[in-house]
Amino acid sequence: MNGSLWAALGILFLDGATFGVATTPALLEAGQAHPAWLLALAGGLASALGSMLQLRVLRWALSSGHAWARRWAPSQEKLAAALGRYREATFLGLVLVRATPVPDLPLKLVAAAGRYPIALYGLAAWLGALPYYYVLATLGAAFRPPLWAVLAGVALVGLLGLWGRRRRQARR
């Protein structure tokens, strides 16, 4: 295991603990140098550990009485919407969401608000990441996209997401 694998694992951990926007480019890039099975197992574990940390922080922020934490915590409106959409953060639901590129923040908010067990959340995140990370790493190895193209694709998806959000807000 060379330094670039450790760097990829570090990125996946930090990404799991924060915004989750670097997973795809990290895996496509790392898939060019490392076996897909290794990235799925170790990368999925690193990401799951980061997600567990994020769940812990979200849980604390939701229950915190500090004014600064309330500013960073999701609004009651967003939390109520997430709770309305996902009544229970079931293990299978967590696994399935993590096995797709669908953002898992709404389900993570429900898990935090519902005090879902952190270790069980981590296991679900890891199991869900296994197939998804394997596919991304395999695609990176097969197509060897240049990093600039991957980052441009991520930026395009982000811009399309922002555009769609603004359109929905304008309709209200």
**What's the whole-model pTM score?**
0.86
Closest of 90, 80, 85 to residue 113, by C-alpha: 80
pLDDT at residue 32, rounded to an integer: 94
pLDDT at residue 1, rounded to an integer: 39
Per-residue pLDDT tens, the chain, 172 aa: give them: 345 999 999 999 999 999 888 999 999 999 999 999 999 999 999 999 999 999 999 888 888 776 776 666 666 677 677 767 766 668 898 999 999 988 888 888 888 888 899 999 999 999 999 999 999 999 999 999 998 998 898 889 888 888 988 998 898 8
Boundaries of every domain in the chain: 3-146
Closest of 93, 8, 12, 3 to residue 52, by C-alpha: 12
